[in-house]
Amino acid sequence: MKVQPIADIEQKPVDMPGATKTKMRMLVGPADGARNFHMRQFEVEPGGHTPHHQHDYEHEILILSGRGVAMSESGERPFRAGDVIWVPPNEMHQFRNTGDEALRFICLIPAPKDCTK
């Protein structure tokens, strides 16, 4: 079992093309022996965004703080702290911080997938 403050986990810039002002922490992942799911925390500064991308697996997102818009093939959907987002496989998507504070969210993906490379 792992119990650890999020602040103690190293935060790294997301270096995927198209990402700006975005950092990630791997909260639970390969180093922990997680075989089914990986849990990550993203932080997007005001005006920043994740890359516009797609992948062959779904992922689940919980918005912890801030607000923004989720861009997808069907248009823009606003979100805020307390909202959940489900992204189906192969759907183009991007998350933009439209607020004046950091956007923080938890993202779950199936192991051993990694959409940050």
Question: Catalytic site residues?
Answer: 107
**Torsions phi, psi for 31 (to 5 deg):** -65, -20
Q: How far is CA 71 from CA 3, 5, 10, 100, in A?
A: 34, 31, 28, 19
Residue position matching structure tokens 């490379």:
117
C-alpha 45/C-alpha 98 separation (Å) is: 9
Residue 30 in contact with residue 112, Cβ under 8 Å?
A: yes
DSSP E strand stretches across 3-102: 12-13, 20-28, 37-49, 59-65, 67-72, 75-80, 84-87, 93-97
